[in-house]
Chains A and B, each alone.
Chain A
Amino acid sequence: MASENIATPSATTALRRGLVLPLLLLVAWEIGSHSGLVNPQFLPPLEKVAGVAWQEVANGELPHALAASLKRDLLGFALGAGVGILVGLLLGLSSIADRIFTTWFNGLKQIALLAWIPLISLWFGFDEAAKIVFIALAASIPVILNTVEGVRSTSTKLREVGEVFRFSGPQLVWSLYLPAATPSVLTGLHLGLIYAWLATIGAEYFMAAGPGIGGLIISGRERFEMALVMLGIVVVGLVGFAVDRSASWIEHRLVRWRQA
Chain B
Amino acid sequence: MSRAAERAIRAETPNADQAAARGRLEVRGVSKAFTVNGAPIAALNDVSLTVRPGEFVALLGPSGCGKSTLLRLIAGLDRDYKGCIVQDGEAVTSTSLERGIVFQEPRLFPWATVRQNIALGLKNAPISEADKRAAVAAHIALVGLDGFAEAYPHQLSGGMAQRAAIARGLVNRPRLLLLDEPFGALDALTRARLQTELQRIWAHEKITMILVTHDVDEAVFLGDRVVVLAPRPGRISRIFDVPAARPRARSDDDLVRLRNEVLRTLEHDSAADPQLSPGSRRDA
> Considering the chains assembled together, what is the distance between the CA atoms of A157 and B153 in angstroms?
15
Interface size range on B against A: 20 to 34
Residue A164 is within 8 A (CB to CB) of chain B in the complex: yes
Give bound CA distance, A180 to B109, whole Å: 8
Taken together as a complex, chains A and B put the C-alpha atoms of A19 and B112 apart, in Å, by 41
Bound-state CA distance A182–B120 (Å) is 19
Question: Measured between alpha carbons, how far is A255 from B77 in the docked complex, in Å?
Answer: 30
Would you give the shortest CB distance from A176 to chain B, in whole angstroms? 7
Which chain B residues lie closer than 8 Å to A180 at the CB level? 111
Answer whether residue B110 sits at the interface, using C-beta atoms and an 8 A cutoff: yes
Q: Does B100 contact A (CB under 8 A)?
A: yes
CB distance from A172 to the nearest CB of B (A): 11
Once A171-B123, A257-B154 are accepted as A-B contacts, the answer to whether A165 and B107 lie under 8 Å apart by CB is: no
Is B101's beta carbon under 8 Å from chain A? yes
Q: With an 8 A cutoff between CB atoms, is B97 at the interface?
A: yes
| Across-interface contacts of B100 in A (CB, < 8 A) | 164
Q: In whole angstroms, how far apart are the Cα atoms of A260 and B156 in the complex? A: 10
Measured CB to CB, the closest approach of chain A to B57, in angstroms, equals 20
The answer to whether B109 touches A179, judged by C-beta atoms less than 8 angstroms apart, is yes
Chain A, interface residues (CB within 8 Å), range: 20 to 34
Residues of chain B within 8 A of A257, CB atoms compared: 110-112, 152-154
Contact of A166 among B110, B112, B124 (CB under 8 A): B124
B77:A175 contact, CB within 8 angstroms: no
Assess whether B103 is interfacial by the CB under 8 Å rule.
yes
Assess whether A160 is interfacial by the CB under 8 Å rule. yes
Verify A163–B154 contact, CB threshold 8 A.
no
Picked from A164, A171, A175, the residue with its CB within 8 Å of the CB of B101 is A164
- Which residues of A sit under 8 angstroms from B101, Cβ to Cβ? 164
Most buried by B among A158, A160, A176: A160
Given contact pairs A167-B124, A257-B152, A158 touches B111 in the complex (Cβ within 8 A): no
In the complex, what residues of A have CB within 8 A of residue B110's CB? 257-258
B172 partner residues in chain A, CB cutoff 8 A: 165
Give the A-B pair count, Cβ closer than 8 A: 56
Q: Is B95 an interface residue (CB 8 A)?
A: yes
CA distance A171 to B97 in the complex (A): 15
B131 at interface, CB cutoff 8 A: no
| Shortest Cβ gap from A182 to chain B (Å) | 7
Choose one: B96, B99, B123, B154; the contact of A259 (CB below 8 Å): B154
List the B residue with the shortest CB-CB distance to A256.
B152
Closest chain-B Cβ to A165's Cβ sits at a distance in Å of 6
Q: In whole Å, how far is A178's beta carbon from the nearest beta carbon of chain B?
A: 10
A179–B117 Cα distance when bound, in Å, is: 13
Q: Is A161 an interface residue (CB 8 A)?
A: yes
Q: Is B75 an interface residue (CB 8 A)?
A: yes
Interface digits, A173-216 against B, CB 8 Å rule (1 contact, 0 not)? 00110011010000000000000000000000000000000000
Q: Could you say which of A157, A165, A176 contacts B124, with CB atoms under 8 Å apart?
A: A165
Question: A176–B121 Cα gap in the complex (Å)?
Answer: 13
- Are A157's CB and B95's CB within 8 A? no
Contact A260 B154 (CB under 8 A): yes
**B76-113 toward A: CB 8 Å interface, digit per residue (1/0)?**
01000000000000000001110111010101011110
Cβ-defined contact, B123 with A167, below 8 A: yes
Closest 10 CB pairs of A and B: A179-B111, A257-B111, A260-B154, A257-B152, A166-B124, A164-B95, A163-B95, A161-B107, A157-B107, A164-B101
In addition to A157-B107, A165-B121, A257-B153, 15 A-B residue pairs with Cβ atoms within 8 Å of each other are: A157-B103, A157-B105, A160-B77, A160-B103, A161-B109, A163-B95, A164-B77, A165-B123, A166-B96, A167-B123, A168-B124, A175-B109, A175-B123, A182-B111, A257-B152
